[in-house]
Amino acid sequence: MSGMSICGCLWIVFGVLWLVWALRSKPTQMRESLGSRFSHVVATVAAFYAMFSGDVPLGWMHTRVVPRGPWIEALGIALTVAGMAFAIWARAYLGGNWSSNVTVKVGHKLVRTGPYRWVRHPIYSGLILAMIGTALNRRQVRGLVAVVLLWVGFTIKSRIEERFMAATFGPEYDEYRRATGAMVPRLRS
């Protein structure tokens, strides 16, 4: 089984787990608008299409940019697993506060422990790392494009979340934002 096949299977298992877990979240108090959701979903869907579709139409997207090698495949699989594990850890810490939409839940709590002590959006950090690992196994330009598209989609979504969290938690969230990075840990002196 190739590294790309293994990564594809990992993404399927991850997706099923994510869907099952989605059934256990708190009721929603406030939700982003449809237009707001559209702004980040398009980039995210395009990222997964670029990475996994068998019929990406642009020939240059199939250009090989990563050499084949067993250590590259192993590294790609390891990064995919590590990224997914980090996202799962973050999701476990969020508990019922999680939603695929940008929302504020009834009884929403500001989580600052576990992976949230390092970054405010560790699920996105983990999924981007997993996509980088998968891109190593795709070995084509489209893998790099997928990583960039996912980063763009999550950057847009995280900014919307930041506004919701600041409106909900006020100064507490402002202090949290100053202390931690968004998707990459902030270097402390």
Q: What is the pLDDT of residues 47-60, one digit of tens each?
A: 999 999 988 888 89
185 in any annotated domain: no
106 in any annotated domain: yes
User: Against a cut of 0.75, is the pTM above it?
Assistant: yes
Q: Which range, of 83-97, 98-112, 170-184, averages the lowest pLDDT?
A: 98-112
76 in any annotated domain: yes
Report yes or no: 40 and 156 within 8 Å, Cβ to Cβ.
Answer: yes
| pLDDT computed for residue 100 by the predictor | 80
Residue 171 has pLDDT above 80, yes or no: yes
Q: Which of 44, 46, 187 is nearest to 124 (CA)?
A: 44
> Could you write out the three-class secondary structure of the chain?
CCHHHHHHHHHHHHHHHHHHHHCCCCCEEEECCHHHHHHHHHHHHHHHHHHHCCCCCCHHHHCECCCCCHHHHHHHHHHHHHHHHHHHHHHHHHHHHCCCCCEEECCCCCCCCHHHHCECCHHHHHHHHHHHHHHHHHCEHHHHHHHHHHHHHHHHHHHHHHHHHHHHHCHHHHHHHHHCECCCCCCCC
155 in any annotated domain: yes
Beta bridge partners of 31: 103
189 in any annotated domain: no
186 in any annotated domain: no
Q: What is the mean pLDDT of residues 11-34?
A: 84
188 in any annotated domain: no
| pLDDT computed for residue 72 by the predictor | 94
**Residue corresponding to tokens 């330009």:** 141
Q: What is the number of structural domains in the chain?
A: 1
Q: Which range, of 26-40, 55-69, 120-134, averages the lowest pLDDT?
A: 26-40
- Local confidence band at 189 (pLDDT 50, 70, 90 cut-offs): very low
184 in any annotated domain: no
Domain hosting 9: range is: 3-179
Name, in order, each residue with C-beta under 8 angstroms of 39's C-beta and a sequence gap of 6 or more.
156, 160
Amino acid letter, 142: R
Residue 92: CATH number of its domain: 1.20.120.1630
- Local confidence band at 172 (pLDDT 50, 70, 90 cut-offs): very high
CA dist 120 and 62 (Å) reads 34
